[in-house]
Amino acid sequence: MPDTPAAPEPFVARTTPEAIEDLRARLRATRWPDAPEDAGWSLGTDLDYLRELVAYWADGFDWPAQEAALARLPRFRTRVGGLGIHFVHARAVAPAGPVLPLVLCHGWPDSFWRYSKVVSLLTDPGSHGADPADAFDVVVPDMPGFGYSDRPTGPPLSSVAVAGLWAELMRTLGYERFGAAGGDLGSHVSRYLALDHPDRVAAVHRTDGGLPVFAGDPATLTAAERAWFAEAATWGATEGAYGAIHRTKPQTVAAALNDSPAGLAAWIVEKLQSWSDGGVERYTRDEILTNITIYWLTGTIGSSMRMYNANSAIPAGQLTRRVEVPSGFSVFRGDVVRPPRAWLERTANAVRVTEPDRGGHFAAFEEPELYAQELRDFFRPYRGESGAA
């Protein structure tokens, strides 16, 4: 029996002084590995960079200040599918037309943090030099096992299952029809929202096309698609070790990362370096450490990695379904494994494809103004199809 919808309750995270002191003590006691001279980032996380980051985390980073800043977002918890789900729910400010509800789906290694800079840009565009008619009601949930949502105690949930939860969450919030957007794992979740709930999803926006899965005749692929397949295979061989671990043996590395904050930082900052347009220099230390500290304090690195294991069991037939809901793609210049337009049109009803000239895998955080404008432009024709509460 499904849960009876319950009214969401306001949520404020409060970290105890003991938890902060334990974190600092662990950071100061880090047992550092060696590294070859001048290795830099070539073998993984740059040791010199990590030492400096950890030193600042231990003795300079003001987590209470960052926690207070995140608390300014309207945050809630409710039960969906038997799990406690944490989410941001911010309503449009002074809208000048129909309001489109929008669920934003994050990826790994992050949480609602990914969208923390764009909430105001999307709910109150008029205060940011944009058209007030483009205002959204914004919902940003933490996926189960990420951030402040519950960790599943049984088998990990796949993107298909999470999409079902978000459809239920949006109904609980009073939204029968809405838009969906996401990147990374959130791109998968958004895709399955459109596939499994086409009567409710007005349109879907994604920042990637996922990794290529093709069951048809290779002769029908364009030259650009074949080149992309080869590029994706090369990327998997050089950058995909993390994914292989997450899919197969996540618990092994979780034991280390959940015990060592320095190890956790190394695991995450390597991805910020490799996947961002400009690497870690694109962020302040406070921004990076806010993301990592959420993982540390919630103990969710293991549960977040297990979602890859769940996704590896999704049947091939699901992976090759074509999205017929109107789809938009913003393929940012600095992202990884950038699909050609031919592939996007093959796999989705791609009504709009853009290639912003800056921004990477975490575009919503790296380039919030540009990302927000991409969403405004794409969703504008679908506002009259919403079911705002």
> Choosing from 86, 197, 246, 361, which is the catalytic residue?
361
> In the structure encoding, which two tokens stand for residue 226, read together?
């074949």
> In the structure encoding, which two tokens stand for residue 352, read together?
């709009």
Closest CA to 117 of 380, 367, 388: 367
> 361 catalytic, yes or no?
yes
Distance CA 268, CA 306 (A): 15
Query: Are 98 and 132 in contact, with CB atoms under 8 Å apart?
Result: no
Closest CA to 298 of 251, 264, 253: 264
Other Cβ atoms closer than 10 A to 129: 8
> In the structure encoding, which two tokens stand for residue 133, read together?
């008619």
Tell me how far the alpha carbon of residue 327 is from its chain's centroid: 18
Query: Are 135 and 96 in contact, with CB atoms under 8 Å apart?
Result: yes
Distance CA 182, CA 187 (A): 4
- Proportion of the chain in helix, strand, coil states, percent, rounded to 5: 50, 15, 40
Interhelix angle for 285-298 vs 47-59, to 10°? 70
Distance CA 81, CA 338 (A): 34
> Choosing from 184, 208, 277, 335, which is the catalytic residue?
184
User: What SS3 state is found at 179?
Assistant: strand
Closest CA to 305 of 165, 146, 186, 150: 146
> 308 catalytic, yes or no?
yes
Type of residue at 143: M
Question: Per the omega criterion (within 30 degrees of 0), is the bond before 109 cis?
Answer: yes
Q: What is the DSSP string of 237-306?
A: HHH-HHHHHHHH-HHHHHHHHTT-HHHHHHHHHHHHHHHSTTGGGGS-HHHHHHHHHHHHHHT-HHHHHH
> Choosing from 115, 148, 308, 371, which is the catalytic residue?
308
Bridge partner list, 204:
180, 327
> In the structure encoding, which two tokens stand for residue 3, read together?
């849960």
Q: Which residues are catalytic?
A: 184, 308, 361
